[in-house]
């Protein structure tokens, strides 16, 4: 049996004509194949449908904040450098902390928000000690204010808690934003009317 199979494969192909076989039939134009063109058009559409369907199935659904629960605030990028202000966000909650240095150690923090804020607490953690008691911000008109000690903002952490509609929001961020520094001098922006 093995000898017969070997003999079969060693025989020259019957009916094979080398003259009929040329380069045109060896390399057919792939753009004339309707199956390939259909696949090239359908594949990207299927990829997009799969992408959006997967996002729809596994995406986190937003939900309303429940009274009594605790939610984190995200510190904006302006909290990481000497900007003089810090933006805190969580979905539709947006708080803006502005800082103004009163002395070499004292900093005045002002909170601006359109939300019905009930309480705001601030604690400055100096050098990671973690034992600083929070200080309540006082409500004056539309703003909430407090003066805290921040002698070394580069090594201090600011802890902030806000209560809005009986929902607690918190954040811990760097305190480096309390000092406002820019590469431009203030003289460049003042107009001299002595001329």
pLDDT in tens, 79-114: 888 888 888 888 888 888 888 888 888 888 888 888
Residue 73 and residue 170 in contact, taking contact as beta carbons nearer than 8 Å: yes
Q: What confidence score (pLDDT) does residue 195 get?
A: 46
User: How close are the terminal C-alpha atoms of the chain, in Å?
Assistant: 114
**Selection from 100, 93, 102 nearest residue 162 by Cα:** 93
Quote the pLDDT of residue 129: 66
Task: Note the pTM of the prediction, 2 decimals.
Answer: 0.62
Query: Which parts of the chain have pLDDT scores under 50?
Result: 194-195
């Amino acid at each position: 049996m093995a000898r017969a199979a070997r003999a079969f494969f060693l025989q020259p192909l019957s009916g094979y004509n080398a003259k009929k076989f040329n380069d045109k039939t060896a390399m057919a134009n792939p753009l004339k194949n309707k199956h390939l063109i259909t696949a090239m058009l359908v594949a990207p559409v299927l990829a997009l449908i799969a992408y959006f369907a997967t996002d729809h199935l596994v995406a986190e659904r937003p939900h309303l904040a429940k009274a009594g629960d605790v939610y984190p605030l995200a510190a904006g990028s302006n909290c990481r450098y000497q900007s003089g202000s810090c933006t805190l966000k969580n979905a539709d909650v947006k708080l803006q902390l502005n800082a103004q240095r009163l002395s070499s150690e004292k900093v005045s923090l002002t909170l601006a928000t359109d939300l019905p804020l009930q309480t705001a607490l601030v604690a400055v953690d100096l050098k990671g000690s973690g034992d600083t008691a929070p200080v309540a911000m006082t409500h004056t008109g539309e703003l909430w204010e407090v003066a805290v000690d921040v002698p070394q903002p580069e090594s201090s952490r600011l802890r902030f808690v806000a209560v809005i509609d009986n929902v607690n929001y918190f954040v811990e961020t760097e305190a480096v934003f309390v000092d406002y520094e820019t590469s431009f001098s203030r003289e460049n922006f003042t107009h001299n009317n002595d001329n």
